[in-house]
Amino acid sequence: MTFTRFALSCALAALVTAPAMADQWRGWNIHPEDYPNSIALEGFAKEVAEKTAGRIEPQVYHNAVLGDQPDAIEQTRNGGLDFANFNMGPMGQIVPATNVLSLPFIFKNVDQMHTVMDGEIGQRFSDALAEEGLVALSWFDSGSRSFYNTKKPIETPADVAGMKFRVMNNDLYVQMVDKLGGNATPMAYGEVYQSLKTGVIDGAENNYPSYDSSNHFEVAPYYSITNHLIIPECLCVSTASWEKLSDEDKAIVKEAAVNAAEEQRSLWAEREMKSREKVEAAGSKINEVKDPQAFQDAMGPVYETFIKANPDLESLIKDIQATM
């Protein structure tokens, strides 16, 4: 055998015996390491790596180090990122059907949200996401969002008047605050703390765990329970990454995502209580609004405008409202 042929046969043998190169997956996460979603994403990564025997090696990047949410959605759709935990709020700008989930008071409570998302209606949202390059494998809890601010307790919609609130990137939230008489400014999550501190904005809105983990409670101590938004979050994989998988690996990734959602939801329930206790102990003033219905009533025009612009989504709204 000539040297070249010998070298070639060695190289071929190495190719046959060497394990396939691991697929390194990059995962986007906005939250810090100890947040329920982060712990669940780490669990997902570990389960996928173990069950695929290292064929896929997911790594989670916490604290939005890979960019803010609207950017990360784009990157995942384009295959620049492999997986992520996304809130359906900023998703609405890209996948219009998901805007239904951003209509204030669309869900009666979190249990109803889970029933909807885990069932046939949730599948319709997954289908809409799939058309835009995202495979939604499971749905996380995100509690319900309420307003908080630096100035005073909000008890009626009139208290919102004249105040400037940060909202997530979605026109619907701008309308929501506008109909309550306030001003809304869409802003990246990571900029909110400083903006509250320096008075660029008077308030924002979020669930207890995020109000706590972002430290917004330190600078905006008035938290008024309006529960105006219950927005699900997905564990999504980029279609580009998904389509490269064998059927066996797809099943493993799907199962790991379902397990992650289960873990996230149970951690979430605990964390909501802990965060509420923590912010109260730190001096936050939490109040129930006097008349929650008044807030809901103020949203009538938001629904009317939305349905006028999206007549095809009216039946989806009705189906959600009819789900018990």
Question: For residues 52 and 264, which CB has a smaller minimum distance to ligand BDP in the complex?
Answer: 264
Q: In the bound complex, what is the minimum distance in angstroms from residue 27's beta carbon to ligand BDP?
A: 14
Let me know: does 217 contact 279? Beta carbons within 8 Å: yes
Q: How far is the CB of 206 from ligand BDP (least distance, A)?
A: 5
Q: Does 93 bind ligand BDP (CB under 6 A)?
A: no
Q: Does 102 bind ligand BDP (CB under 6 A)?
A: no
- Give Cβ neighbours of residue 80 (< 8 Å, ≥ 6 apart): none
Rg of the Cα atoms in the chain: 22
Based on CB atoms, which residue is closest to ligand BDP, 180 or 231?
231
Q: Looking only at residues 105 through 134 of this chain, which bind ligand BDP when binding is defined by CB under 6 A? A: none
CB of 168 to ligand BDP, least distance (A): 5
From the list 99-107, 115-123, 150-158, 204-212, the region that binds ligand BDP by CB under 6 A is 204-212
Spatial CA neighbour of 189 closest among 38, 90, 68: 68
The strand pairing partners of 285, in sequence order, are: 222
For residue 245, the surrounding DSSP H or E stretch is: none
Burial profile 275-302: b = 16 or more Cβ within 10 angstroms, e = fewer: bbebbeeeebebeebeeeeebeebbeeb
Binding mask 256-285 for ligand BDP (x = CB under 6 A): ------------------------------
Residue by residue, DSSP assigns 42-99 as HHHHHHHHHHTTTSEEEEEE-TTTT--HHHHHHHHHTTSS-EEEEEHHHHTTTSGGGG
**226 is a site residue for ligand BDP (CB under 6 A):** no
- Of residues 138-157, which lie at the interface with ligand BDP (CB under 6 A)? 142
Site membership for ligand BDP, residue 87 (CB under 6 A): yes
Tokens of 204: 């924002």
Q: State the DSSP code for 205.
A: E
Site for ligand BDP in 12-51 (CB under 6 A): 30
Q: Does residue 206 interact with ligand BDP by CB under 6 A?
A: yes
Identify which range of 45-53, 72-80, 206-214, 292-300 contacts ligand BDP by CB under 6 A.
206-214
Which bin fits 65, alpha (ψ -120 to 50), beta or left (φ > 0)?
A: alpha
Does 227 bind ligand BDP (CB under 6 A)? Our answer is: no
Please say which residue, 56 or 148, places its beta carbon nearer to ligand BDP: 148
* 238 binding ligand BDP? (CB under 6 A): no
Residue 63 CA to residue 141 CA, distance in Å, equals 18
Helix, strand, or coil here: 117? Answer: helix
| CB 196 to ligand BDP: min, Å | 13
Please enumerate in sequence order all residues whose Cβ is within 8 A of that of 115, keeping only pairs 6 or more positions apart, or say none.
323, 324
Contact map string, positions 57 to 86, toward ligand BDP, x by CB under 6 A: ------------x-----------------
**Which chain residues interact with ligand BDP by CB under 6 A?**
30, 69, 87, 142, 168, 189, 206-207, 210, 233
